[in-house]
Amino acid sequence: MKYFTMICLLLAGCGSDGGGGTPLTGPYPLSSSCDTRTVAGGLVDQCRDWANPNGNADLEVSCNSLSGTFSTAACSTTNRTASCALAAVLGVTATYRYYSPTWNAGTAQTNCTALGGTFSAP
């Protein structure tokens, strides 16, 4: 059940560049993002950058299931308040991006801690 939950969290996605996104750096290249900043509910003002170096997940399908906007560009940096990097699950890494006005550094850090991620503020 733990792995199923983590996969669901990773694949619950975000991302169109929205003007201001930049390529990700780190151990894996950006493969896609899913922007749910305009989706009502718990995903509002969030975006997720995904790295899928093995190509073993259809992240566009995951993004579409969240009514997000799928993109091969990174999440926008405009109005970003924080990020949360999650450990890889089945080779897919996710970095949650949080945006104002819904999220500030404190609320984003609380959410990131609950997800077991590594918090960073821009």
Distance CA 3, CA 90 (A): 9
Q: What are 56-109's pLDDT values in tens digits?
A: 678 888 899 989 999 989 999 999 999 999 999 888 899 999 999 999 999 999
pLDDT at 11 over 50: no
pLDDT at 2 over 70: no
Residues 12-37 have a mean pLDDT of 56
Instruction: Using alpha carbons only, give the angle 47, 16, 13 rounded to the nearest 5 degrees.
Output: 40
pLDDT band at 117 (very low <50, low <70, confident <90, very high): very high
Higher pLDDT, 63 or 53: 63
Residues 30-45 have a mean pLDDT of 88
The predicted pLDDT at position 40 comes to 82
Q: What are 17-27's pLDDT values in tens digits?
A: 333 344 444 44
Neighbours of 120 (CB within 10 A): 14
Place of tokens 């059940």: 1
Distance CA 38, CA 51 (A): 22
